[in-house]
């Protein structure tokens, strides 16, 4: 065997062993030889492929439009197209076309003329699937980032809305707070005038003076607490969950609104056991909920009435259940009530039944948002001319912050 024949045999063995499809075509595009990988990839037998036009099994952009001819410009164009493409498709005997990467080189004879073309095709299906998966993951990542940005923006707008409604509420109760503070200050001024007169006349009674001073200290402390409650409420803050005693937060709310209720001859009944389980909540936001609902109840009774605030253990449907861990706080008034057609719109932003200039319709929308963010629920029942009851549902917990399992069974 000559050296040339030996080399050809080695090349043939190497081509046969390759895992990529190897296709040999003559200068006009007729298949002259294929390796085993080509047969396995396409499902044809060797006899079905050999001596067939190249376009039968392989296409690159611009190649598969027309049959090549053995002479003329068409043959030259065909060769240029094959040699210039790096991707294409192969067409198996059965099934969909298979994407491939395509490498090609011309084969020269001993005289320097091109005697054929060697095409090496690699199956790109696994690669393209991987690329598609990576693209999908990247798309999901971008989508997640966009959703997170939208969520952060929504959260920021919600916080602005809550703060805006706080300031609106403060505007409505400012006059009542001023009146609430003015009364004890007037009393203190009277005590101070009496003490000054007694000192001038040298008729100071030590026991009576101590009583006046103690009473003045008590009234000043009450004024300080009212102002502190109002400042704490108006301050913009991020939600901070902690153990909240319902009775205490309601008492703090009444330190701001109590005088307004008394001015309108409203009887206030609070039915909350001092030992009632607390809830895990942001005290500032929970106070805003009670303030909005109680203020609405007071405004619904301009000619007087009865405001009842109670708390019971209930199931998730509102029924009494002493062994439950759900607190139901009811705020009930005997005011004008709400029509049936407006009940479903109450928690919609900017919906209001108040006269123009008395409200923008954000209070109950903010209340609804706060309760939902605390994992609770709020329901309303009303009868026109008879009154309205708002029921808030929040899960109880003990002072350590753990969910309560036993306190509810009182």
Residue ranges and CATH numbers for the domains of the chain are 3-123 (3.30.450.20), 149-236 (1.10.287), 240-410 (3.30.565.10)
Q: Which two tokens stand for residue 198?
A: 């007694």
Show Cβ contacts of residue 373 under 8 Å, excluding neighbours closer than 6 positions: 239
Instruction: Tell me what the mean pLDDT of segment 338-343 comes to.
Output: 82
Identify the burial level of 284 via C-beta atoms within 10 angstroms of its C-beta, where 0-12 means exposed, 13-18 middle and 19 or more buried.
buried
Distance CA 12, CA 4 (A): 12
What is the pLDDT at residue 69? Answer: 45
Backbone angles phi, psi at 47, to 5 degrees: -65, -30
pLDDT at 300 over 80: yes
Would you say 158 and 369 are in contact if contact means Cβ atoms under 8 Å apart? Answer: yes
- Cβ–Cβ under 8 Å, residues 300 and 290: no
Instruction: Check if the beta carbon of residue 176 is closer than 8 Å to that of residue 260.
Output: yes
d(CA 270, CA 330): 10
- Model confidence at 87: pLDDT above 50: yes
Tell me the pairing of strands 305-314 and 326-333: antiparallel
Helix (H, G, I), strand (E, B) or coil at 112: coil
pLDDT, mean over the chain: 77
In tens, the pLDDT along 127-171 reads 888 888 998 999 899 888 888 888 888 777 767 766 666 666 555
List the alpha helices (DSSP H) in 18-86.
36-42, 46-49, 73-84
Beta bridge partners of 308: 269, 332
Indicate if the pLDDT at residue 101 is higher than 60.
yes
Which DSSP helix (H) or strand (E) runs through 69?
none
In this predicted structure, the answer to whether residue 13 has a pLDDT above a threshold of 90 is no
Q: Residues 180-230: pLDDT tens digits?
A: 677 678 778 888 888 888 888 888 788 888 888 888 887 787 777 667 655
Count of residues for the chain? 410
């Amino acid at each position: 065997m000559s050296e040339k024949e030996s080399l050809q045999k080695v090349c043939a063995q190497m081509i046969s062993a390759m895992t990529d499809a190897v296709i040999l075509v003559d200068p006009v595009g007729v298949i002259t030889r294929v390796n085993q990988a080509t047969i396995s990839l396409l499902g044809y037998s060797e006899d079905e492929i050999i001596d067939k036009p190249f376009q039968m099994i392989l296409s690159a952009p611009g190649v598969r439009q027309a049959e090549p001819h053995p002479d003329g410009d068409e043959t030259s164009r065909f060769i240029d197209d094959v040699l210039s493409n790096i991707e294409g498709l192969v067409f198996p005997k059965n099934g969909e076309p298979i994407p491939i990467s395509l490498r090609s080189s011309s084969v020269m004879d001993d005289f320097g003329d091109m005697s054929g073309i060697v095409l090496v095709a690699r199956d790109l299906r696994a690669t393209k699937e991987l690329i598609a998966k990576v693209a999908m993951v990247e798309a999901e990542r971008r989508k997640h980032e966009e959703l997170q940005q939208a969520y952060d923006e929504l959260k920021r707008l919600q916080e602005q809305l809550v703060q805006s409604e706080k300031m609106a509420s403060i505007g409505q109760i400012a006059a009542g707070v001023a009146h609430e503070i003015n009364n004890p200050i007037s009393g203190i001024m009277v005590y101070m005038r009496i003490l000054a007169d007694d000192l001038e006349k040298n008729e100071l009674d030590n026991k009576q003076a101590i009583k006046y001073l103690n009473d003045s200290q008590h009234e000043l402390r009450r004024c300080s607490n009212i102002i502190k409650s109002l400042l704490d409420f108006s301050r913009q803050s991020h939600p901070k969950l902690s153990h909240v005693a319902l009775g205490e937060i309601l008492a703090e709310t009444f330190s701001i609104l109590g005088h307004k209720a008394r001015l309108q001859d409203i009887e206030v009944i609070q039915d909350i056991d001092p030992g009632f389980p607390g809830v895990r909540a942001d005290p500032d936001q929970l106070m805003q909920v009670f303030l909005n609902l109680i203020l609405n109840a007071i405004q619904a009774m301009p000619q007087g009435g009865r405001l009842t605030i109670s708390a019971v253990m209930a199931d998730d449907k509102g029924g009494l259940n002493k062994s439950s861990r759900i607190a139901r706080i009811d705020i009930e008034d005997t005011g004008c009530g709400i029509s049936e057609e407006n009940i479903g719109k109450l928690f919609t932003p900017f919906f209001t039944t108040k006269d123009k200039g008395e409200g923008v319709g954000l209070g109950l929308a903010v209340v609804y948002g706060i309760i939902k963010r605390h994992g609770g629920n709020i329901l309303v029942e009303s009868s026109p001319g008879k009154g309205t009851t708002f029921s808030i549902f929040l899960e109880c917990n003990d002072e350590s912050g753990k969910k309560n399992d036993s306190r509810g069974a009182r």
